[in-house]
Amino acid sequence: MGRARAFHSSHRATPLVTAVALLGLVAGCGSGADAGGTVRPPAGTSSGTATADTGSTASGPGTTEPGTTGPGTDTGSPVTQSAAAAPRCHTSELRAKIGRPSPGAGQRNFPIVLTNTTDRTCTVRGYPGAAFVDASGKQLGPDPKRSPYTPTSVSLAPGRSAWAGLSFASPEISGARTAVPKALLVTPPDERDPLEVAWTHGEVPVAGNESSVRLTVFQPGTGG
């Protein structure tokens, strides 16, 4: 899809992929940043709203289950999952980053971290949308696949974070064709406008054997 969906998005729409592509999907209007600091997806990236569909794709070698291996949860964070009354977090209210990578046996795991930048509590639920792009804004590789987990609402107090996993098999082991992205476009669950995050972690698989990138649902903490 030409806009990115992400490793996991919200439960109301469908799934980060057509929601991410990489953790949901990114909707596309243009490639420039808007006044809120978000970046419109470039033409050619996958489109759609990142959603919380649990998905049915089987786990692969690049998949880590939330709360087990891979980036860990930040148990010290006062983020809660009892967020029935809190409104959804919008793209303009969030900051995105790639957390500390956590290598696994033959795979690379990265937490996609969203932080609430406002003075109100809001929630995220499901998979992010995600897509790797080059310097021209063109999407690299197919949309990510969603690992089948049950989404839960994560309540973010001001300044607090939630993370979703992004993983793929190590290209030197899988033999996949690779490219080095300029950025990762991350779309929060149920949103259409993505956030652009500089990608500084080298090559990613874009075609061939074991080239799938996988996303997991959001959970509390920073994954570090």
| Boundaries of domain holding 179 | 1-64+89-224
22 part of a folded domain:
yes
User: How would residue 22 be classed by pLDDT, with cut points 50, 70 and 90?
Assistant: very low
Q: Is residue 76 part of a domain?
A: no
Q: How confident is the model at residue 211, as a pLDDT? A: 80
- What's this model's pTM, rounded to 2 decimal places? 0.67
* Tokens linked to 145: 């696949």
Question: Exposure pattern of 152-174 as b/e (b: 16+ CB <10 Å)?
Answer: bbbbbbeebbbbbbbbbbbbeeb
Q: Is residue 78 part of a domain?
A: no
Q: Name, in order, each residue with C-beta under 8 angstroms of 42's C-beta and a sequence gap of 6 or more.
A: 28, 30, 31, 133, 136, 137, 138, 139
Q: Is residue 180 part of a domain?
A: yes
For residue 131, is pLDDT > 80? yes
Residues 159-179, mean pLDDT to the nearest whole number: 94
Query: What pairs with residue 147 in β-bridges?
Result: none
pLDDT band at 55 (very low <50, low <70, confident <90, very high): very low
Q: How many domains does the chain have?
A: 1
Over residues 155-172, mean pLDDT: 96
Partners of 173 in beta bridges: none
User: Does some domain include residue 161?
Assistant: yes
